[in-house]
Amino acid sequence: MASDAGRTEAETELQCGICLSLMWKPVTLVRCGHSFCCLCVMKDMKHRMDNEQVLACPLCRAAVDSKPTVPSVTIENIIQACVARKSDTDQAAEKRRTDEMDHELFLLLGWANTTRSDLWGWFAQGSAVFDPDDQVFRCPACVWEVDRDGVCANQACRRKWTIDHSLLPESPSDESDEDGSNMREWNEESAGSDESDSGSYMSDAE
């Protein structure tokens, strides 16, 4: 009985906090450490992005600002061991459930425009686009402005991109220094011209 109770408790710890079933292709959110089915957390993020909500952990609401970890092989192996101890009927039901999730993941990857080999390629990829009209970098996914670190300012997106700083124009301080030096040169030339004019006037007067 104690063994059965311990087994049940272990399976409870291996449940996804979203679908409340054994996790399938479990991934872990970096900031808080909570784990979910890969499909479940991707669907949650898509729902939040579609509704312009902040990306956050479904359990503790910690911000999600980086890719979740890749599927944990160790956790997957433990889950498979739990499934292997179930009855044939339960194993068949679990097989149907995971097959359905695999098909749903395939459809979701079409939305994300990525592949199984790079499940989170949609979350952060490529370079920010430079907007020459506004002189800012923009997120290729939602067209919002990105900050100095390349993170999208849209709370519903928050994807991170690389920034090519060479595309930025010269800073205003450089321009002001150049203008200042030009002004000083002009003043010096003017002063020299005034002195020569003054000397010429004095010689004429003599």
The rounded percent of the chain whose pLDDT value lies above 90 is 19
pLDDT digits (tens, 9 = 90+) for 130-154: 888 888 998 876 788 999 888 888 8
**Predicted structure pTM score:** 0.56
If asked whether residues 6 and 106 sit together in one domain, one would say yes
CATH number at residue 38: 3.30.40.10
Looking at the structure, do residues 134 and 96 belong to the same domain, yes or no? no
How confident is the model at residue 193, as a pLDDT?
A: 52
Residues 9 and 72 in one domain: yes
Which carries the bigger pLDDT value, residue 19 or residue 62? 19
Residue 187 within any structural domain of the chain: no
- Residue pLDDT, tens place only, 179-192: 545 545 545 555 55
More confident residue, 24 or 177: 24
Q: How far apart are CA 76 and CA 90, in angstroms?
A: 18
Q: What is the pLDDT of residues 36-77, one digit of tens each?
A: 998 999 889 888 877 767 778 999 988 787 778 766 788 888
Domain presence at residue 197: no
Same domain, 22 and 82: yes
Q: Are residues 39 and 73 in the same domain?
A: yes
Q: Count structural domains, the chain.
A: 2
Q: Please, are residues 84 and 185 in contact by the beta-carbon 8 Å criterion?
A: no
Counting other chains too, the contacts that 54-63 makes at CB distance below 8 Å and 24 or more residues apart are 54/155, 54/156, 54/158, 55/155, 55/156, 55/157, 55/158, 57/29, 57/31, 57/32, 58/17, 58/18, 58/34, 59/17, 59/32, 59/34, 60/32, 60/34, 62/29, 62/31, 62/32, 62/34, 63/31, 63/158
Mean pLDDT of the chain: 76
**Residue-level pLDDT at 162:** 81
For residue 90, the enclosing domain spans: 2-118
More confidently predicted of 18 and 46: 18
- What integer pLDDT is reported at residue 175 of this predicted model? 47
Q: Kindly state whether residue 185 falls inside one of the protein's structural domains.
A: no
Residues 10 and 111 in one domain: yes
